[in-house]
Structure 1
Amino acid sequence: MFNYNDDIDVDDDADDMDEADWLMAAASNPVFDFLKDAEDIYTLADGQPFND
């Protein structure tokens, strides 16, 4: 059975990454390419107002 109290060797390199390095890695990651697409923004001309 797995014991949660076992000492696990965790690599702390992620804690050493500064914000600029993280931003550069995120900006160049192809997973986030969909964020570069043009966004479809709604305007008042798109439909009826929502009256709750």
Structure 2
Amino acid sequence: MPSPISAKNEKSSRISSPIKAEKENLRGTFAAVMMLGGFLILTWLGVFLLFIARN
């Protein structure tokens, strides 16, 4: 049976691990979101212009 001290150390090491946030490179994610946003804006603009042209 583990001693209370070692159990406490194991628990604190498990708790502190998720707190450490690694700095991730999110440039690819940002570029993908910008491209998706651009596509959505162009699509809405195209539909709006089509609506205006038909009236």
Q: Which has the higher contact order (CA 8 A, sep 6+)?
A: 1
Q: Give the TM-score range, shorter chain.
A: under 0.3
Q: Which has the larger radius of gyration?
A: 2
| TM-score (normalised: structure 2) | 0.25
Q: Which protein is richer in helix relative to its size?
A: 2
